[in-house]
Structure 1
Amino acid sequence: MLCQKCSYSNPDENNFCGSCGTPLPPTGRVTLKELLTAGLLQAGDELTIKLRGRDITAALLADGKIRYQDETYDGPLSCATAVRGQTCDGWFCWTAVDHSSNRSYPLAHYRGALRRQKGENPADTARP
């Protein structure tokens, strides 16, 4: 997606321009529940976020919510904010293991994959 301010070409899953930091227009909201339904993630998957050099884990629930300690959060932003004590883009802060490759990717990776499956970003076929 091209930034309207600086014309930098950003990956489709970015929320902000990687060059100038300008917010990018949304390309269609994707939820964690949709990632579960598409089979890109599974209920019970462990989500990991870094906090002061430590891995903090939470669980992805079947309804697309995130369970951290004794609290349930509606999405990656609210949970990341609770864990870190400040806002961050939860789609990039949280990672999950890809079951086919056994590699860990940010949630934004899976969101981009779903958008490509839906044909929302057909020009971006080279990204995993």
Structure 2
Amino acid sequence: MDYDTFLTARRALMAQVVRDAFGQLESDSYRPVYSPPSVVPEQRTAGRLPSRRIKLSELLDAGLISAGTVLTPAWEEHEQVAVVDEQGRIRIDEQIHDTPSGAANAVGAGTNGWTFWLADTPEGQVTLADLRAALSEEA
């Protein structure tokens, strides 16, 4: 079979696979079966991440940042600034984000917000990740 014939046949077969899949999804009796992962994810070490999830509001409670702290992106190609509110959320213009990563995604960074945002502190600009690590060490 020549290449153009192959592409035409493949397109028809792929369309049939998609139709069959949507047919299954539409069925009320469909229950997906998931196989266990074949590769176990690498365990994170305590030095890389805190043993529990620390929230931005906890940095406020600990006095590491305060309401009104200005956050600037660590990446030069992003210029949008944000502000921490009194509830430990991040305000960008009129939008409020519950997590640093949500705020980073909102400005188009699509990355870990804890490492993306720099907090203005009396000691200078510090990543939220470094502040989180400092809080984790205190606990």
TM-score (ref. length: structure 2): 0.63
Structure 1 stretches of 5 or more lacking a match?
Answer: 16-25, 119-128
Q: 1:116: Cα distance to partner?
A: 0.6
In terms of fraction of residues, the more helix-rich structure is: 2
Instruction: Quickly say closer, same or farther: Cα 1:110–1:52, change in 2 above 3 A.
Output: closer
Larger CA Rg, structure 1 vs 2: 2
Query: What residue is the counterpart of 2:54 in the other structure?
Result: 30
Post-superposition Cα deviations, 1:85-122, rounded to whole Å, max 9, x if no partner, equal x52010000011222x2x1111001000000110xxxx
Post-superposition Cα deviations, 1:22-55, rounded to whole Å, max 9, x if no partner, equal xxxx621100000000000000000011565343
Query: What residue is the counterpart of 1:66 in the other structure?
Result: 90
Supply the distance in 2 between the matched residues of 1:105 and 1:73 (Cα, whole angstroms): 20
Supply the distance in 1 between the matched residues of 2:75 and 2:126 (Cα, whole angstroms): 17
What percentage of residue pairs aligned between the two structures are identical?
A: 32
Q: 1:70: Cα distance to partner?
A: 1.1
Supply the distance in 2 between the matched residues of 1:114 and 1:52 (Cα, whole angstroms): 27
Instruction: Quickly say closer, same or farther: Cα 1:78–1:68, change in 2 above 3 A.
Output: same
Paired residues, number: 99
Post-superposition Cα deviations, 1:51-76, rounded to whole Å, max 9, x if no partner, equal 65343210000101000011001110
**2:112 is matched by which residue type in structure 1?**
D
- Helix, strand or coil: the match of 1:29? coil
Query: What residue is the counterpart of 2:138 in the other structure?
Result: 117
Pairwise CA RMSD: 2.4
- In the TM superposition, structure 1's runs of 4+ consecutive aligned residues that sit over 4 Å from their partners are none
- Helix, strand or coil: the match of 2:80? strand
Structure 2 stretches of 5 or more lacking a match?
Answer: 1-40
Instruction: Quickly say closer, same or farther: Cα 1:78–1:38, change in 2 above 3 A.
Output: same
